[in-house]
Structure 1
Amino acid sequence: MAILDTGCGEHPWLDFVQRDVRLGDHQIGWPAVVPNSEVDEDQVGPLDGVIDDFAGHGTFISGLIHQACPDADIYSWRIVPPEGSVAETDWITALAQIAELVHLYREGDPRGRRIDVLSLSISYYHETPSDELFDPTLYEILADLSANGTLVVCSAGNDATTRPSFPAAFGPWSNGEGPVEQDPEVLPIVSVGALNPNGATDAIFSNAGPWVRAHEVGASVVSTLPAVFDGGYQPAIETAHDGRTRASLDPDDFSGGFGLWSGTSFAAPLLAGRIAQRLLEHGQPGDKQQDKKRAWAALEALTPLRPPT
């Protein structure tokens, strides 16, 4: 399993996560000298005492994958800043390096890495003509990963809109009108919307449309957060009785190492983890074609997606 996000902070559940996998001598994602939002939770407006919007995002995602597939190896790379806006060059460079790792693995090069599933909770809309110009470059790299047996699972977005969000919308559309012709030799990009905890209704914030083809619980999910996170909010009530302090819940004290969060950003990795678990339980890794067959079997079991005819 691979994650490209804000990185993964320290947590006793996640001491096995590999955070510095390189392409030969080349760093993938941001080096350690770049401020880390999984370590410092308040980099944006550091005097306001408020935990940044995306601080802990990657750690939370890692924990969800670990819950869904406890035996999965996880590679985690950082390119998402604490405010969430990703630089296109960072994104493309990191994805190209990850694709090269998979190429090297397929060629039997010991510098390569096997990646069965890549979870992406990064997205954009077509706001300007330049956004559309970015599509072919991004899709080419993702399609290369998919052609080499890596299943790319993407969050659909949280704006309660039917506007296509990319890269999720590169996947097959239910009405056949997507922007990309689906190649039968390439695994599909899986677009994931969020369900409520009942598993039956779509979360009100989840994007929707013919391009959203799979769903997983993404509202009020519990996962890991760095235990160093303790923001400036305080309990609404605090008193004492018999020498003991009593208080209401501190809404941004995560010193227990866990938190509650909502978003398609979390539905996607939860489904990605379930796919990885299915892959582990059904068959052994093989060559590129065998791995694509295993991936399709997992998709057929867990999503409405079916191989093109």
Structure 2
Amino acid sequence: MKRASLCLAAALASVCFSRASAGQLSPELLAKLSAHENKPVSVIVRFRFDKNDQGRALFKSLRQQLKQSRAQLGKASGFVDSSMQNGGTELWLYQSIALKLTPLQALTLSSLPIVDEVFENFKVKIPKVQALDTGSLGEASSENPNFDPLQMIGADATRAVGLRGQGVRIGHLDTGVDIFHPELQGKVVAFAEFGPAGKRISSKPHDSAQHGTHTAGLLVGNTLGAAPDAKLISALVLPGGEGTFAQVIAGMQWVLDPDNNADTDDGANVVSLSLGVPSSQDQQAFVLPVQNMLRAGVVPVFAIGNYGPDPQTTASPGNIPNVIGVGAVDQSGSVAPFSSRGPAIWTGAYSGSFIKPDVVAPGVGIRSSFPGKGYGVLSGTSQAAPLVAGAVAVMLGAKPGSSVDDIKQALYSSASNNGQKNNDSGYGLINLPAALAKLGVSVAAPPKAQAPVVGPNGYIFCVPEGQRCTFSGEKQVAFGAAGRYLSGLTSDGFNCTVAEWGSDPVPGAAKACFVQEAKP
């Protein structure tokens, strides 16, 4: 971004530059200069960018270009290097550095040809949900105890046939995560926490609020997640629900390349993000890092915001044209009142009016994991986005090598609005089995429940493998003639896909699971 000629009088008269040769200084920093404020403030200095590499090779070229840009700072490198040594951070994904400068130093940097813009390190937070009529929307689990968001998007069917996100890594940027929760044990392969300037903080995995553990459960939870076999790379960038732009970008580049080595393939294949800023000048800042994510072949799935029901209420980065922006529907499939509506009006990096959101998913009265082995119900596009990101992980696991465009086309063309898009629900409610079919992956319908068959010695068994049998009362499962039991079955049935199979009690009943009523 450029600006017209700017010359400040008195002490600032020596720093004067033109649109053709210099970057832009944010209005907030200009105001501090005009007020003669000279206390250091946290700023982002973005350098000019010209890299168009694709795939993971982009990460290496971005780091190299940032190093080259810093070498062209001339005399300004003195105070820049000093500040960088005192808590500054390189944000290579955004071709920038985060550091503390006085307004006058910021002005000096913005006058250099290599610098594109200088602005304050602004706040980013999880949007609050507006008050809901839980009677009509079923926000609380007690309103509709049988509601299953996985069933609503077809993820129950994909889980039943073994399409569970195997081999896929999901980037998770949030308030942290409780890795010891029963839903999430063994699911988080990397964790990092970042400070306000984007500097990594040494800490053990934890959740600073409830939000991160809740969204993680919807991604990969054993019973709650759309992609229970995918793995999480989790970055704590919103301590207590609020962070900074530098924190988010530092976390974003880390989940893409956790070991800081572009030659190793250890980064996220899809990124789930449930945060944002409303339409403002700040929303432009997310464009470049998201564009670089797309160039690297990583699928961005971001919440659209909780600022509805009025039009033009979308939040960045979910409203960036090329990302999958996710809105929320209630348990009946109606768009939730709080879900942000389009269009998204863009100038600068993009220009024009864009229909948003792109798709919707369940986001009202969603039960998921809470820190400390508990469970809780939350509502928001924050809950809808991880369900879609989990669905994307299942698609990538089922059809490795699918491009970002492949995923988006399959997801959009199979959603409930039959290829038509609007500013309330986008292309509509996602349908994971139908999206997989667009990729050439068939999802057989799960077998219907059948009445149990009583075999020899009072055993009850069901076939084929994977069949669900429903019984009443307390039950136990026996594996073969040895009579080994697995207790703790619930009264609503048992999935016959178990770790061990017994011998055939009846000819032709291969791979049967045996269920026997518990003895008093």
Match of 2:318 among 155, 168, 174: 168
Deviation at 1:33, TM superposition (A): 4.4
Letter in 2 for 1:64: L
Q: Retained in 1: the 8 A contact 2:236–2:251?
A: no
CA RMSD of aligned residues (A): 2.8
Deviation at 1:94, TM superposition (A): 2.2
- For 1:211 and 1:102, locate their aligned partners in 2 and report how far apart those are by CA, in whole Å: 35
Letter in 1 for 2:247: D
- For 2:201 and 2:271, locate their aligned partners in 1 and report how far apart those are by CA, in whole Å: 20
Q: Corresponding residue for 1:216?
A: 361
- For 1:95 and 1:104, locate their aligned partners in 2 and report how far apart those are by CA, in whole Å: 15
DSSP-derived class of the 2:188 partner: coil
Letter in 2 for 1:258: Y
Q: Corresponding residue for 2:278?
A: 125
Deviation at 1:157, TM superposition (A): 1.1
1:266 and 2:411 are equivalent in the alignment: no
Higher radius of gyration, 1 or 2: 2
Match of 1:57 among 184, 191, 211: 211
Deviation at 1:85, TM superposition (A): 2.5
DSSP-derived class of the 1:7 partner: coil
Classify 1:73/1:294 alpha carbon distance in 2 versus 1 (closer, same or farther; 3 Å). farther
DSSP-derived class of the 2:327 partner: strand
Classify 1:302/1:86 alpha carbon distance in 2 versus 1 (closer, same or farther; 3 Å). farther
TM-score by length of 2: 0.40
- For 2:255 and 2:188, locate their aligned partners in 1 and report how far apart those are by CA, in whole Å: 14
- For 2:319 and 2:405, locate their aligned partners in 1 and report how far apart those are by CA, in whole Å: 23
* Structure of higher RCO (CA pairs closer than 8 Å, 6+ residues apart): 1
- For 1:265 and 1:86, locate their aligned partners in 2 and report how far apart those are by CA, in whole Å: 16
TM-score by length of 1: 0.65
DSSP-derived class of the 2:388 partner: helix
Q: Corresponding residue for 1:88?
A: 245
1:205-263 CA deviation, whole Å, 9 max, x = no partner? 11112321210000001111112xxxxxxxxxxxxxxxxxxxxxxxxxxxx61111100
Deviation at 1:20, TM superposition (A): 3.5
1:173-231 CA deviation, whole Å, 9 max, x = no partner? xxxxxxxxxxxxxxx30111100012x2011111112321210000001111112xxxx
Which segments of 5 or more consecutive residues in structure 2 lack a partner in the other structure? Answer: 1-169, 193-197, 343-354, 422-426, 428-520
- For 1:29 and 1:270, locate their aligned partners in 2 and report how far apart those are by CA, in whole Å: 30
Deviation at 1:277, TM superposition (A): 1.2
Aligned positions, number: 225
Classify 1:116/1:299 alpha carbon distance in 2 versus 1 (closer, same or farther; 3 Å). farther
Q: Corresponding residue for 2:306?
A: 158
- For 2:199 and 2:190, locate their aligned partners in 1 and report how far apart those are by CA, in whole Å: 9
Match of 1:97 among 243, 251, 254: 254
- More strand by percentage: 2
Match of 1:291 among 390, 403, 408: 403
Which segments of 5 or more consecutive residues in structure 1 lack a partner in the other structure? Answer: 23-27, 40-54, 172-187, 228-255
- For 1:30 and 1:194, locate their aligned partners in 2 and report how far apart those are by CA, in whole Å: 33
Q: Retained in 2: the 8 A contact 1:29–1:94?
A: no
- For 1:60 and 1:302, locate their aligned partners in 2 and report how far apart those are by CA, in whole Å: 27
